[in-house]
Amino acid sequence: MSKKKKKKKDMYQQREQDQIDTLEDRVAHLYVDSKRNYKYNLGELDYVGILPNGKWDIYEVKTSSVGTHKAHQQLFAAKKYFWKQCNDRFIYIAQDDEIIKI
């Protein structure tokens, strides 16, 4: 991988981590525990908030409202995979600082 591509990838990853930080600042008080960049067999969840009853709220972070269809698909697949643990699904749109419940 060229240095230019690596730098661009690192910049994108840092921006996404900053967006997850912002989301965490907004919602962390609702949960007893949380997981960031949670990897599982079907992919990765950007943020998982664990409720007192052990259920999970799962979040997908997007920079803008463009591409939310893919986030819907990812959250639907995660809900099916974690059907016993999953409580609610959300998309966080960083540009608008908006959390949308799916």
Give the closest residue to 19 by CA, choosing from 84, 79, 64, 56: 64
Q: What is the pLDDT of residues 11-49, one digit of tens each?
A: 667 888 889 999 999 999 999 999 999 999 999 999 999
Q: Which tokens belong to 67?
A: 């591409």
Quick one: pLDDT at residue 15? 81
- The CATH T-level fold of domain 3-101 is Trna Endonuclease; Chain: A, domain 1 (3.40.1350)
> 43-100 pLDDT, tens per residue?
999 999 999 999 999 999 988 888 788 889 999 999 999 998 999 999 999 888 899 9
| Residue 11 vs residues 2, 7, 38: alpha-carbon distances, Å | 14, 6, 20
Global pTM? 0.84
Residue 60, amino acid: E
Domains of the chain, residue spans:
3-101
The pLDDT confidence band at residue 1, using thresholds 50, 70 and 90, is low
